């Protein structure tokens, strides 16, 4: 991890002001005295470029996008008292595990704030809107051991938030005024300000009855609770939030789970449950190709007749978020009919794509061999989370696919939708290579 240097004051303000459009630059004058901190990697092109020369090769500057979201949010005026309606939202950090930071999150807005923390409703929105939601959520943080959290008053408040079915009027008293941080690093998504939490009050949160039943069932395993809640129609985001605050599982085994891990865990549990069901369904009898493109990410899904197998490719074009080099980077991971025994090297995106494909097949009552291609383009200027993988693939699977009788026809159509050369995909493939080399029984009849 590169060391960072921190700069504050007028010189920094001048170049940031030059980057912004004239109608937005004046508002920066008001925010800097409030304690805006800027962090950038040493020797970073961002410091040299200042968002105007595009030395990184991107079409637009991610720092400008983040700065715009920063200026548009209401947080620069926040003091030690935070009064608003939590979406509801709770974040559990992973650094320092097993001692983790728990942060109830609230914007300075009253009313229906559901949209601030419900990725299922974000598809189609731009980077500015999404970053604006994220950066408007103010966190009151405290540390606690993941197992020794019972009877902690602040944890109980966080639990009440996580189980609520609608936004909750919240009041937080912070130990000091929260400071915003604008991080000049493509790998860090926008974050709202936070400060240590002194006290918190909630105005009569109403729990989701489905989550409440799972919480009070101390004999129900966490995985079973997740499966049941999903089948009852509870959105994945709500299940993940409750999972992270230790609401599920055998009473004596419950623990807090960092948000990043809880998202992958819930996607994994739900998709595994769906896959176990769809293995009893008949196979699709044709080749299908689905497509979706959003936030600089292009997804193409190929379904082929055959038993359940799954493969995900991620191709990062040069000068993209996770590939600042000049050469193309392609990674893949897969599973056979019996599933996986280890965590995917592609991280949470693997399970987010898998659950979206499994959902669609389960709805149809079919099984198939599935290959998902993801191309990240230079237009993907800001990491927004694995939810965009899930929602992109969901969007693709909701559309009418292109249908073909042969694999050759389906692949010809697939390659026409992608920018990466076919040989670059096949080189790192397992399932796709198998599809291209095996012969099916009907070919002999």
Residues 6 or more apart in contact with residue 110 via CB below 8 angstroms: 83, 84, 85, 169
For residue 151, what pLDDT is reported? Answer: 77
pLDDT tier at 78 (50, 70, 90 boundaries)? confident
Q: Where in the chain is the domain with CATH 2.40.50?
A: 77-202
> How does the average pLDDT of the chain come out, rounded?
85
pLDDT at position 30 is 36
Percent of the chain at pLDDT above 90?
Answer: 64
Cβ(359)–Cβ(275) under 8 Å?
no
Residue 331, classified by CB atoms within 10 Å of its CB into exposed (0-12), middle (13-18) or buried (19+), is middle
pLDDT of residue 431: 96
* Alpha carbon 387 to its chain's center: 4
pLDDT digits (tens, 9 = 90+) for 113-138: 999 999 999 999 998 888 888 888 99
Q: Is 319 exposed, middle or buried (CB count within 10 Å of its CB: 0-12, 13-18, 19+)?
A: middle
Q: For tokens 């044709």, what's the residue?
A: 286
What CATH topology corresponds to 77-202?
A: OB fold (Dihydrolipoamide Acetyltransferase, E2P) (2.40.50)
Average pLDDT over residues 362-372: 98
Q: Which of 77, 328, 349 is nearest to 193 (CA)?
A: 77
In this predicted structure, the answer to whether residue 77 has a pLDDT above a threshold of 70 is no
Candidates 241, 183, 185, 190; CA nearest to 211 is 241
User: What per-residue confidence (pLDDT) applies to 58?
Assistant: 72
C-alpha to C-alpha distance for 313 and 321, rounded to whole angstroms: 16
In this predicted model, what pLDDT tens digit does every residue of 142-186 receive, in sequence order?
Answer: 999 999 887 789 999 999 999 999 999 999 999 999 877 665 544
Given a cut of 70, whether residue 269 has pLDDT beyond it is yes
- Its pTM stands at 0.85
Q: 315 pairs with which residues across the strands?
A: 330, 375
Q: How confident is the model at residue 11 (pLDDT cuts 50, 70, 90)?
A: very low
Q: How confident is the model at residue 394 (pLDDT cuts 50, 70, 90)?
A: very high
Number of neighbouring beta carbons within 10 Å of residue 267:
28
From residue 160, how far is each of 151, 202, 337 by CA, in Å?
13, 9, 40
Task: Name the region of 71 (left: φ>0; alpha: ψ -120 to 50; beta: rest).
Answer: alpha
């Amino acid at each position: 991890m590169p060391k960072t240097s921190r700069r504050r004051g007028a010189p920094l303000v001048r170049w940031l002001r030059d980057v912004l459009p004239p109608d937005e630059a004046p508002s920066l004058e008001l925010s800097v005295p409030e304690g805006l901190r800027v962090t950038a990697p040493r020797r970073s092109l961002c410091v040299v470029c200042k968002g105007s020369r595009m030395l990184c090769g991107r079409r637009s500057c991610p720092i400008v996008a983040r700065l715009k979201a920063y200026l548009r949010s209401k947080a620069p005026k926040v003091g030690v008292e935070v009064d608003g309606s939590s979406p509801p939202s709770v974040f559990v950090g992973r650094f320092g595990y097993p001692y983790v930071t728990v942060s109830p999150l609230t914007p300075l807005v009253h009313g229906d704030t559901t949209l601030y923390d419900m990725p299922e409703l974000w598809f189609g929105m731009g980077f500015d809107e999404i970053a604006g939601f994220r950066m408007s959520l103010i966190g009151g943080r405290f540390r606690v051991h993941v197992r020794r959290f019972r009877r902690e008053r602040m944890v109980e408040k966080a639990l009440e938030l996580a189980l609520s079915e609608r936004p909750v009027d919240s009041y937080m008293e912070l130990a000091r005024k929260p400071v915003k941080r604008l991080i000049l690093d493509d790998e860090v998504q926008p974050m709202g300000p936070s400060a240590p939490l002194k006290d918190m009050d909630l105005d009569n949160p109403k729990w989701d009855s489905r989550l409440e039943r799972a919480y009070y069932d101390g004999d129900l395993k966490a995985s079973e609770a997740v499966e049941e809640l999903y089948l009852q129609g509870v959105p994945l985001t709500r299940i993940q939030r409750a999972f992270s605050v230790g609401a599920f599982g055998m009473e004596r085994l419950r623990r807090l789970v960092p948000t990043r891990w809880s998202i992958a865990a819930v996607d994994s549990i739900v998709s595994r449950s769906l896959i176990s069901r769809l293995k009893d369904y008949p196979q699709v009898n044709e080749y299908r190709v689905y497509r979706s493109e959003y936030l600089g990410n292009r997804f193409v899904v190929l379904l082929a007749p055959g038993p359940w197998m799954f493969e995900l490719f991620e191709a990062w074009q040069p000068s993209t978020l996770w590939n600042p080099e000049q050469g193309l980077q392609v990674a893949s991971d897969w599973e056979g009919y019996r599933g996986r025994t280890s965590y995917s090297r592609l991280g949470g995106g693997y399970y987010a794509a898998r659950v979206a494909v499994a959902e669609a097949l389960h709805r149809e009552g079919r099984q198939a061999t599935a290959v998902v291609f993801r191309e990240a383009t230079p237009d993907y200027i800001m990491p927004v989370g694995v939810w965009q993988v899930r929602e992109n693939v969901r969007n693709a699977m909701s559309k009418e696919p292109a249908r073909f009788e042969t694999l050759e026809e389906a692949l010809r159509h697939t390659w026409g939708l992608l920018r990466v050369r076919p040989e670059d995909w096949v080189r790192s493939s397992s399932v796709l290579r198998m599809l291209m080399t095996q012969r099916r029984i009907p070919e002999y009849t």
